[in-house]
């Protein structure tokens, strides 16, 4: 049995977990969703969901991981073998997300390259982006570069790879984001965007926006799959899980709010349409930057920011799968990392090609009757597998492992006070499962999130 690596410090762990949480979801999904769902009122709902549901599930996942000191499948199996399928679902979800996340990460790298070389996006941003993602070879090359960088960090191990990189990149990420926010807020016309963020008209909130906020919260906190269980398993027993969970949730939420403050006013100031999806980060925003003074510089900064955010998230998603592969199949970490990386690369090529180079469609019950492989991968993971994984995890922790045993892992013989234990028990057993079931219902019955 190989010796398991551990985080060397609490701050290193918190930054690595925050690095996982802070990703593409915070920087471009969140601001777009705020704008599309009415602004301030949506933000308030989101904050409540993070504090009640997100916090509770993250604490449960970290406790589960640390208790077992194993990868996610091993963690479920160590309590009850029959439920190791929940861990396997988590690994599958992580693997699919890893595959496509690296493709998007590759696009980000290509944009940085374009800014640095001054090639300046020939043909306009829209044609440029569509041309890039629908070509066959180029995105795959960038995907490879992005994946290779992530794998290089994972190969160095948990403490000297993942922890070191996160400790270095996360503070820089924050500084860049603050710089872009200040630039954006001082643009003439920024006040329209600020007004939107302060629009607390709760009557305009629909049930659907609440479901969107819930889905966003889970994705943003990297819950519902192997990551937080795996990261928790590298924690020492003398760390305070409640405090760490609160720190990770706070950092993730602060960065999402800052991103909204950076992006919404800038978009409003230039009168750009607040479209959603990939096009928003890759088409609308570069155009916004191009219109402001020193725009080229801020455009470059923005994509470096996006890269840092995506990079630490990609590392965490791959790590969850690598930990499983190496421990459950008794492979060396090195072998497991290379195999997982190679497989993710192959599946990612499918995602990349389905963006336009080749028509790869999957039959589905949505309106169009079929969706592209790429959309299917995103939809299956973000909208189905993540909430389902989180739902099963709550039921498992609440009723199979039992919250009192989880609380004992958190409290460590009374070493750490856990004042909210009673409330947490109710949240894990009842509130979170109901909330998650509602998200799943919306997705399956009404097709929310199906594009
Ligand atoms: N939390 C990351 C984000 O907001 C994405 C992510 C999702 C990372 C799932 C890992 C797992 O972009």
Which atom, in ligand 1's list, is nearest to the CA of 221? 1
Question: Is 205's pLDDT higher than 70?
Answer: yes
In tens, the pLDDT along 377-408 reads 877 787 788 889 999 999 999 999 999 999 99
Residue 152: per-residue pLDDT = 96
Band (86; pLDDT cuts 50, 70, 90)? very high
- Give the Å distance between the CA of 422 and the centre of ligand 1: 29
Question: Is 447's pLDDT higher than 70?
Answer: no
Residue 29: per-residue pLDDT = 84
- Give the Å distance between the CA of 151 and the centre of ligand 1: 17
**Would the CB of 316 count as within 6 Å of ligand 1?**
yes
Question: Is 277's pLDDT higher than 70?
Answer: no
Q: Region of 174 please: left (phi>0), alpha (psi -120 to 50) or beta.
A: alpha
- Give the Å distance between the CA of 314 and the centre of ligand 1: 8
SS3 363: strand
Q: Tell me the mean pLDDT in the region 279-304.
A: 84
**Would the CB of 184 count as within 6 Å of ligand 1?**
no
Residues in the chain: 451
**Would the CB of 313 count as within 6 Å of ligand 1?**
yes
Query: What gap in Å lies between CA 46 and CA 391, rounded to an integer?
Result: 18
**Would the CB of 23 count as within 6 Å of ligand 1?**
yes
In sequence order, the 6+-apart residues with CB closer than 8 A to the CB of 317 are 20, 94, 97, 98, 101, 222, 227
Query: What gap in Å lies between CA 49 and CA 375, rounded to an integer?
Result: 26
Which atom, in ligand 1's list, is nearest to the CA of 26? 4
What does pTM read for this prediction?
Answer: 0.92
Which atom, in ligand 1's list, is nearest to the CA of 219? 7
Other beta carbons within 10 Å of 63: 27
- Give the Å distance between the CA of 429 and the centre of ligand 1: 24
């Amino acid at each position: 049995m190989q010796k398991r690596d551990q985080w060397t410090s609490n701050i290193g762990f918190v930054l690595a977990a925050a690095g996982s949480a802070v990703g593409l979801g915070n920087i471009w999904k969140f601001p777009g969703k705020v704008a599309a769902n009415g602004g301030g009122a949506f933000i308030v709902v989101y904050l409540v969901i993070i504090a009640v549901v997100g916090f509770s599930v993250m604490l449960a996942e970290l406790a589960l991981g640390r208790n077992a000191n194993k990868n996610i499948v091993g963690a479920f199996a160590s309590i009850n073998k029959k439920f190791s399928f929940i861990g396997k679902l988590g690994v599958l979800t992580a693997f699919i997300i890893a595959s496509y996340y690296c493709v998007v990460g590759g696009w980000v790298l290509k944009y940085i390259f374009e800014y640095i070389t001054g090639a300046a996006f020939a043909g306009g941003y829209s044609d440029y982006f569509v041309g890039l993602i629908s070509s066959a070879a180029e995105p795959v090359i960038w995907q490879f570069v992005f994946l290779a960088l992530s794998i290089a960090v994972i190969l160095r191990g948990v403490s000297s790879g993942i922890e070191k990189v996160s400790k270095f990149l996360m503070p820089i990420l924050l500084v860049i984001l603050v710089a872009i926010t200040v630039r954006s807020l001082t643009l003439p016309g920024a006040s329209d965007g600020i007004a939107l963020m302060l629009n607390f008209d709760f009557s305009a909130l629909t049930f659907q926006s609440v479901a969107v906020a819930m889905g966003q919260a889970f994705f943003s906190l990297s819950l519902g799959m192997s990551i937080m269980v795996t990261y928790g398993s590298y924690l020492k027993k003398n760390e305070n899980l409640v405090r760490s969970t609160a720190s990770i949730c706070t950092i993730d939420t602060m960065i999402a709010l800052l991103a909204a403050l950076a992006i919404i006013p800038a978009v409003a100031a230039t009168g750009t349409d607040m479209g959603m999806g990939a096009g928003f980060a890759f088409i609308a925003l570069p155009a916004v930057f191009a219109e402001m003074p020193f725009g080229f510089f801020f455009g470059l900064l923005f994509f470096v920011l996006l890269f840092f955010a995506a990079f630490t998230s990609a590392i965490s998603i791959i790590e969850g799968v690598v930990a499983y592969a190496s421990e459950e199949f008794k492979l060396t970490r090195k072998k497991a990392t290379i195999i997982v990386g190679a497989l993710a690369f192959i599946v990612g090529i499918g995602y990349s090609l389905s963006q336009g180079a080749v028509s790869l469609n999957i039959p589905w019950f949505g309106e169009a009757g079929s969706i592209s492989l790429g959309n299917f991968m995103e939809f299956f993971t973000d909208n189905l597998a993540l909430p389902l994984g989180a739902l099963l995890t709550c039921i498992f922790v609440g009723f199979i492992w039992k919250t009192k045993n989880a609380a004992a892992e958190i409290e460590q013989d009374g070493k750490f006070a856990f004042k909210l234990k009673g409330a947490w028990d109710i949240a894990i057993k009842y509130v979170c499962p109901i909330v998650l079931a509602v998200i799943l219902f919306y997705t399956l019955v009404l097709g929310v999130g199906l594009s």
